Amino acid sequence: MTSAADIEAIRDSVRRLCNGFPGEYWRKHDRDRTYPAEFVTALTEAGYLAALIPEEFGGAGMPMIAAAAIMEEIQHAGCNGAACHAQMYTMGTVLRHGSPAQKQKYLPEIAAGTLRLQAFGVSEPTSGTDTTSLKTFAKKEGDHYIVNGQKIWTSRAEYSDLMLLLARTTPRDQAAKKTEGISVFLVDMRKVVGNGLTIRPIRTMMNHSTTEVFFDDMKIPADSLVGEEGKGFRYILSGMNAERILIASECIGDARWFIDKAVAYAKDRKVFNRPIGQNQGVQFPIAKAYAATEAAALMVRRAAELYDSGADCGAEANMAKMLAAEASWMAADMCVQTHGGFGFAEEFDVERKFREARLYQVAPISTNLILSYLAEHVLGLPRSY
């Protein structure tokens, strides 16, 4: 059992760890587009990235509600969990669908941080959100698979040892259903980089260490397959609720950072001989962002509680992610406006966090796709695609 007091203690220790990584640390990495390795090491050593790995495999065995609190506090402190959030949840596919041998081989090392599972290769340049149209193909040849194709937006591939890869093993037109014939592989990238696997960084508007990866006759052992061949799409879907809840928690943390920053500035900044925060035109957008954040936080909490109870939380996890991403973006925009010109100055960190916060209405799933899921799967409206 993790009590409310335990969660408060976790929040407090995450806050203390994050104090060691102030704005100038993030500004420098952002300016140079370098990986915040020291921060990731500190989180790993404190055991936070192993929060969801059961104790029998060397993890902390925490519930989702505690993992969500960790991610929220990281963002609330002005840090950026995007550098390593995947280490927390990508292992879920191995935990739920891997063989006993795969779990024993990988999970203890992932829990210890000696093995990094930070890369998740789903998106492809031509299929976009339509995942079942992905083209990367893994062909079985004896005791190996030969992989050909390309992924895009494979974040942290340069800073990961393993990649969870989604590839077709049966061509789409030969599969019984479009969701069949897709398989999941746990690829040891250390063995194939430069030998069938090429990683090319993509520069983006924020510091995200994302890449495109190319598979050119990449040979991987047959035991890289996770679970049953052809069932991978279902395995990936089953891990998405955890990802949605954790990303939503990050968005709540971002929103709280923007609100704190705006409140402090609005009290301090004097124009026309009074604090700008005395004007309702400045107060109301802050209050509105606060209300949106608190409402979204309730949905995140509800989704995490359902997840921990083992109940289906697909609708709540999706709503939490959508509402939290919208609240953080509302707060980001408000924070820039409250700061006036200083909202654009690097040294205030607002512009950096503004750029970082924008991502979550697009990735890991865009708002439109969440709305379509709610409309069609929850409300029973006709399918649009």
Stretch touching ligand FAD by CB under 6 A, among 66-74, 95-103, 114-122, 318-326: 114-122
Q: What is the DSSP letter of 142?
A: T
Q: Which residue is nearest to ligand FAD (CB)?
A: 128
Contact 11, 68 (CB under 8 A): no
Residue 128 or 201 with smaller CB distance to ligand FAD: 128
Count of Cβ atoms closer than 10 Å to residue 306 Cβ:
19
Q: Minimum distance from CB of 219 to ligand FAD (Å)?
A: 22
Residue 283 or 366 with smaller CB distance to ligand FAD: 366
Residue 98 or 121 with smaller CB distance to ligand FAD: 121
Residue 68 or 152 with smaller CB distance to ligand FAD: 152
Stretch touching ligand FAD by CB under 6 A, among 115-123, 219-227, 239-247, 308-316: 115-123
Residue 83 or 115 with smaller CB distance to ligand FAD: 83
Residue 222 or 240 with smaller CB distance to ligand FAD: 240
The beta-carbon contacts of 352-357 under 8 Å, at least 24 apart in sequence, are 352/26, 352/27, 352/30, 352/206, 353/78, 353/254, 353/257, 353/258, 355/205, 355/206, 356/80, 356/82, 356/206, 356/254, 357/251, 357/254, 357/258, 357/328, 357/329, 357/331, 357/332
Residue 14 or 324 with smaller CB distance to ligand FAD: 324
Per-residue x/- marks for ligand FAD, 175-204, CB under 6 A?
A: -----------------------------x
Q: Minimum distance from CB of 360 to ligand FAD (Å)?
A: 10
Radius of gyration of the chain (CA): 21
Q: Minimum distance from CB of 48 to ligand FAD (Å)?
A: 20
Residues 201-240 that bind ligand FAD (CB under 6 A): 204, 208, 210
Residues 307-346 that bind ligand FAD (CB under 6 A): none
Strands 225-226 and 182-188: antiparallel
Q: Minimum distance from CB of 361 to ligand FAD (Å)?
A: 8
Residues 67-96 that bind ligand FAD (CB under 6 A): none
Residues 41-60 that bind ligand FAD (CB under 6 A): none
Give, in order, the Cα–Cα distances in Å from 231 to each of 111, 132, 140, 144, 177.
26, 12, 15, 18, 11
Per-residue x/- marks for ligand FAD, 119-158, CB under 6 A?
A: -xxxx----xx-----------------------xxx---
Q: What is the DSSP letter of 54?
A: -
In the chain, at which residue ranges do the beta strands (DSSP E only) sit?
117-121, 137-141, 144-152, 162-168, 182-188, 197-202, 210-221, 225-226, 270-271, 274-275
Residues 353-382 that bind ligand FAD (CB under 6 A): 359, 362-366, 368-369, 372
Count of Cβ atoms closer than 10 Å to residue 335 Cβ:
31
Q: Minimum distance from CB of 151 to ligand FAD (Å)?
A: 7
Contact 339, 277 (CB under 8 A): no
Q: Minimum distance from CB of 181 to ligand FAD (Å)?
A: 19
Catalytic one of 73, 180, 243, 316: 243
Q: Minimum distance from CB of 338 to ligand FAD (Å)?
A: 26
Number of residues that bind ligand FAD (CB under 6 A): 23
**Measured distance CA(55)–CA(231) in Å, rounded:** 28
Contact 345, 101 (CB under 8 A): no
**Measured distance CA(181)–CA(229) in Å, rounded:** 7
From the number of C-beta atoms within 10 Å of its C-beta (0-12, 13-18, 19+), residue 190 rates as exposed
The identity of residue 316, as a single letter, is E
Phi, psi of 171 (to 5 degrees): -55, 145
Instruction: Establish whether 243 is a catalytic residue.
Output: yes
Residues catalogued as catalytic: 243
Q: Where along the sequence are the contacts to ligand FAD (CB under 6 A)?
A: 120-123, 128-129, 153-155, 204, 208, 210, 359, 362-366, 368-369, 372, 384-385
